[in-house]
Amino acid sequence: SSSGVNLYVINDTYAFRTSLDVSEFLNIEKIVPKPLSRAATETLAIIAYHQPITRSEIENIRGVSLSRGTLDVLLELQWIQPGHRKSTPGNPLTWKTTNLFLDYFNLKNIKDLPGIEDLKNSGLLDKNKVIFNDQSVD
């Protein structure tokens, strides 16, 4: 591109980003984030693919109980946020991803997430184990 700054649309909001061909000249300091735990990574993936989703639904998919700390880490990163309350007994809170999640992972829309077959083919998902019920993303 001919400009040093480009305008991007992310989920009906706008963001300016430095053009890739000049970004290396603007990096002064890079903060290396602490890697996410396996539980946080799994939880984030489940929320991204199944949102809006309740805590108990996350636990059902993972097969283990979800510690509050796992959601706290994702909330602190501002990658997830509370959604609406579900119309089921107890009216549980749902969780969904944020625009910061999309921005961090360079996605314009949640539908840009790779599909199940893409994940299997890249080796990121065990071909014999299906974590996701379907490939649709709301």
Q: How far is CA 120 from CA 17, 74, 81, 138, in A?
A: 31, 25, 28, 21
**Nearest of 49, 81, 37, 11 to residue 57 by alpha carbon:** 49
pTM over 0.75: no
| Arithmetic mean of pLDDT, 28-35 | 71
Phi–psi pair at 9, nearest 5 degrees: -105, 125
Q: Which amino acid is at 2?
A: S
- Tell me: pLDDT of 134 over 90: no
Max CA pair span of the chain:
56
Q: Using an 8 Å Cβ cutoff, are 52 and 22 in contact?
A: no
22 against 102, higher pLDDT: 102
What's the topology of domain 31-122?
Answer: Arc Repressor Mutant, subunit A (1.10.10)
| Arithmetic mean of pLDDT, 55-64 | 94
Residue pointed to by tokens 């489940």:
46
Partners of 5 in the β-ladder:
18
Structure confidence at residue 136 as a pLDDT band (50, 70, 90): very low
47 against 31, higher pLDDT: 47
pLDDT of amino acid 119 = 76
b vs e for 55-92, b when ≥16 Cβ sit within 10 Å of the residue's Cβ?
A: bebbeebbeeebeeebbebbeebebbeebeebeeeeee
Q: Which amino acid is at 38?
A: R
- Tell me: pLDDT of 137 over 60: no
Helix H or strand E encompassing 112: none
